[in-house]
Chain A
């Protein structure tokens, strides 16, 4: 437990150091108003990273979240165009996102197909479906109703609704992970699948639940994304799944499953969000972002691996460890 604590402490320290570095040249970046903007800008990443965290905890990975987001966002825009009221749209995108996640989950649970193959496939299928729905057409700001666009940006107590939703989901997932049987099951399944079976936990069903959670959050984020940027087309959030996995890995979620915290996950997302927002301020081309998040993933997994030197059998331990 002390290792886990110290890892989050190191990450928090890294974020503070990063902020201090930026502030030394651009004090305007660390004003409360701007930090709130960074938090808002990072909200979609936080939402998706929390869902991905549940999936990764159960030894799986979901590469289809960004495509799920794009499809649900497009459905939200189309429903809005058809005059469906906003609360109904919100329910629909969450349900649709959960259903798309359930498709992934079912194939992992019932057919035992490795999650990377399933989600690599559904990633293209979900995104292709947007093209089938729209023929590649864009839905632009003037085709969306004012209420649809305004909701995520409505300011309540100094922060936009989108940020409040992200904070509420953070709190909800924290309770889920730490205070419910399902949350413990996520950890148990990833930590030791065989032991989990002996304690009466269904590995497949828990993985299914994780995919449904990730899908529902992706669906919700789909609406928020489309409404905030006021545009929907086939390629929105293209490649975002890599940022999401990066946020989790940086946040110390072990890719082998079973270990990781909500706080780490949120800080991992914030770390990337701060870099993304700071690049234009510092005067570095935004084209650097992709390489930076790639490098951050590699540094983070290397760091995670060195801090996870487990104890175990002595005989041929090194040989065992490497395989």
Chain B
């Protein structure tokens, strides 16, 4: 990782309009629209509102986590344990449901488990100064491992009827509960990152943590809060996913971390930290959702889609670098 991180000062100011047109987000929007048109031409079933509503499940749960992950990556950290947090939270909720608890208690437990897991990651990274990659590789094993201890090869399949609302309910017409949660989360994280002091501090830490500390930012505290937020969003995603599937196995949401990181990176967030936007992440989630839905309509198997995700993740980062390399 020998990339130069120095910044260049442009010799001419660009107008806000041309900058917006050339931005990564604009490119993503064009891609999303193109895929949308291509899909509606490729399959007659694509434009059906109910189909599109069903397809939104492809990205809503992952995107909820991606918002928090985007802030974490902008701050120069990463959390690979999100899929395992979902598994553990789902297991806790499943055990509670089996013990006869009602929906409100399940929601509290799901959110609580997410927060505890996030706090655990945050404590190890922020308080003890351990590298987040290894910490979360460790907790990725630990959290899902606890699910395996609790469940083995079994499953929890009984949930209260009212619990199904989160993953299967509709707020109005084809608008699912998950879509509403997704939109609210996008709004909340957009405001948090782009309109508050907290958001500015996150960028500052990602660009230069030492300088941020010397300018009075409490770096550890912010890092801890970011891990807490990622845990919380994983808890919410776990409630949605568990409610939608109606069952819990220890292998639930395996590989989510890859797709969440892919959404974040596709959304134009620098993997080295310091730059990125929530709007980009929203668009990237839509692109991912449209691609998977379109491929699904064409009967492409899931594992082939995961190859495409892997290629997408690498090429999104590689192509701009190749481009600048070739231009030199």
Contact = CB atoms under 8 A, between A and B. Distances in A.
Q: Do A and B bind each other?
A: yes
Interface of A: 59-61, 107-108, 110-118, 120-125, 127-129, 131-132, 136, 193, 203-204, 234, 242, 245-246, 249, 255-256, 285, 287-295, 297-298, 301-302, 305, 316, 319-323
A114 B210 contact: no
Contacts of A60: 1
A242 B304 contact: no
Contact of B219 (A59, A110, A302, A322): A322
B317 A116 contact: no
Contacts of B271: 113-114, 117
Given A287-B148, A290-B144, A305-B130, 15 more contacts: A111-B321, A112-B2, A114-B271, A116-B78, A117-B317, A120-B258, A120-B310, A125-B311, A246-B141, A255-B131, A256-B131, A291-B148, A294-B141, A295-B145, A305-B129
Contacts of A246: 138, 141
Q: Which of B2, B130, B133, B153 lies at the interface centre, i.e. has the most chain A CB atoms within 10 A of its CB?
A: B2
B143 A128 contact: no
A293 B145 CA distance: 9
Nearest to B315: A121
Contacts of B171: none
B192 interface: no
Contacts of A118: 314
B130 A242 contact: no
B129 A114 contact: no
Given A122-B314, A298-B142, A319-B214, A112 B220 contact: no
A88 to B, nearest CB: 28
A319 B128 contact: no
Name the prevailing secondary structure of the B interface residues.
helix
Given A112-B1, A124-B310, A323-B219, A285 B128 contact: no
B149 interface: yes
A125 B310 contact: yes
A15 B81 CA distance: 28
B210 A319 contact: yes
Contacts of A291: 141-142, 145-146, 148-149
Contacts of B1: 59-60, 108, 112, 114-115
Nearest to A113: B317
Name the prevailing secondary structure of the A interface residues.
helix
A238 to B, nearest CB: 9
Contacts of A245: 134, 137
Which size class do B's interface residues fall under?
35 or more
A172 B261 CA distance: 37
Contacts of B146: 291
Given A124-B309, A323-B210, A117 B314 contact: yes
Contacts of B219: 322-323
A301 B136 CA distance: 11
Contacts of B140: 242, 294
Q: Which of B135, B310, B313 lies at the interface centre, i.e. has the most chain A CB atoms within 10 A of its CB?
A: B310
A298 B2 contact: no
B269 to A, nearest CB: 12
A123 B301 CA distance: 17
B3 interface: yes
A60 B149 CA distance: 32
B274 to A, nearest CB: 13
A298 B314 contact: no
Given A128-B304, A255-B133, A113 B141 contact: no
Considering the complex of A and B, which 4 residue pairs feature the smallest CB-CB distances, nearest first?
A: A291-B145, A294-B141, A294-B142, A128-B307
Contact of B138 (A129, A294, A319): A294
B184 interface: no
Contact of B141 (A129, A132, A290, A305): A290
Contacts of B141: 242, 246, 290-291, 293-294, 297
A107 B322 CA distance: 10
B304 A295 contact: no
Contacts of B55: none
B258 to A, nearest CB: 6
A323 B134 contact: no
19 contacts: A112-B2, A113-B321, A114-B272, A117-B271, A120-B310, A121-B314, A124-B258, A125-B307, A132-B307, A234-B303, A287-B149, A287-B250, A294-B141, A295-B142, A301-B131, A301-B134, A301-B138, A302-B124, A302-B128
